[in-house]
Amino acid sequence: MDQKRENYIGHESQLYGVEEHRLVGGKGDGMRLFQVRNGLGLEFTVSADRGADIARLSYQGLNYGFFPINGYIAPAYYDDAGNGWLKTCNLGFLATCGWTNVGVPSVDAGESLGLHGKANNTPAEHVYWEKTGDELQIHATLRHAGMFAEKLIQQRTIRCSLNENRITVTDQVTNLGDQLSPIMILYHINVGYPLLDEDSVLDIRSDQAVPRNAHAKEGFDTRNQGIPPQAGYEEMCYYHTFTGEGLARIFQPKHKKGLAIRFDPKVLDTLIQWKMMGIRDYVMGLEPGNCHADGRDKMRAEGKLKFIQPGETKTFQVDLEMLEDW
C-alpha cells in the first residue's frame, strides 16, 4: 500500500481492512464472519465456523461465488451420515472438503464416511486477522481429531494483497497422532451467477480430462460451455490432470471480469470440474484436490489414496487472481 495514500485517511477502513461480525437469527445465528476489503474492489467473507472457508466473494461489485438456497447454516446442524452434508452445506465461493474423506459416502477400513467429510463443518478454534506489510492475513486453527480416530491439526492462512487483486489460501496439516492417517483434500471452488452464465468462457489447462461416468461422457465435447438454467438437470463431472502448471480460468465477457485458479499439480494432482446447470442450482465447480470424488474406498482400491505419517506436516495451497481481461 502506497504510504502517501495513508496520509489522506483517518482510519484504514476508509480504504481497506477486515471487520468481524456475528449473524443474528435463523440457522446461522451466532456464526462468526470476517469481511475483508483490499481497497481495489476485491471483497470476500471468511466464515470462521465453517472451516474458515470463503463464503462470499465479489470483485468490483460483481458476485463470483454460488450461495445455495440453504443460506447460512451453523455447523451444529450438520448431519455427517450419508448425503447429510447437502442438507446444511453453505458451499459459497470456497468449501473445503476433507480431511479424511472426499466425495460420495463410502465404507472404508471399517469406517462409515459421509459425503465430502467434515472440514467445511469444522469451526475454527483460534482465528484472527492482521495486516503484515502489503497484505491482509487471516489465520485459523482447525482440529480434525477424536479419540480412537485421526488426530490432524490444520493451520490455515488466507493472504489478500493490498496491491493486487489476489488471494492465497495455504493449509498446513500436521498429524499429531501415532497412527498413519488418510489425507484427502478438495478445494471446492464454486463459480456462480453472474460471473457464470451461458456465454462465460472456461479455460482449463489440463493435459487430460476424463468424464466421471457415462452421463458426463455424453456432454464431454461441451463440458466448458455454459447453458441457461435447466429444469431437472443432472450434474456432470470431469477429472482433469496436469503435467505443467495447474491452471483453470473463467471469464465473463459482458462484465469483463474473470477468475484464475492456480495450484501445484504435484501436490493437488486432480482438478474436478463440476458442471451443474440446474434452476437455482446453477454453478460451475473448479476444484483442485489430491483425489477424485468417488469415495475413499475406491481411492484405496485404485492405489491412489494419500496418507500422512505420525508427526508429518503437509502443505497445500491455492492461488486466486481476479481478472479484467482474457
Mean pLDDT, the chain, as a whole number?
96
How many other C-beta atoms lie within 10 A of the C-beta of residue 64? 28
Residue 326 pLDDT > 80: no
Is pTM beyond 0.85? Reply is yes
Residue 237 identity (one-letter amino acid):
C
291-312 burial, b if ≥16 CB within 10 A, otherwise e?
bbbbbbbbbeeeeebeebeeee
| Integer Cα distance of 177 and 149 in angstroms | 9
pLDDT tens-digit profile of 233-249?
Answer: 999 999 999 999 999 99
Q: How confident is the model at residue 25 (pLDDT cuts 50, 70, 90)?
A: very high
How do residues 288-309 score in pLDDT, each as one tens digit?
Answer: 999 999 999 999 999 999 999 9
Which pLDDT value is given to residue 78?
93
Beta bridge partners of 321: 166, 260
The whole-number average pLDDT for the span 43-64 is 98
Q: Which residues contact 24 (CB under 8 A, 6 or more apart)?
A: 30
What is the band of 320 on the pLDDT scale with cuts at 50, 70, 90? very high
Confidence of residue 110 (pLDDT cuts 50, 70, 90): very high
* pLDDT tens digits, one per residue of 247-292: 999 999 999 999 999 999 999 999 999 999 999 999 999 999 999 9
Each residue of 156-167: pLDDT tens digit? Answer: 999 999 999 999
Question: pLDDT, tens digit, for every residue of 59-94?
Answer: 999 999 999 999 999 999 999 999 999 999 889 999
Between CA 138 and CA 107 the distance in angstroms is: 35
Q: Which helix (H) or strand (E) holds 218?
A: helix 214-218
Domains of the chain (ranges; CATH) run: 18-323 (2.70.98.10)
pLDDT above 90 for 325? no
Quote the cell numbers at residue 270: 486432480
Say what the pLDDT of residue 23 is.
97
Phi-psi region of 80 (alpha: psi -120 to 50; beta: other; left: phi over 0): alpha
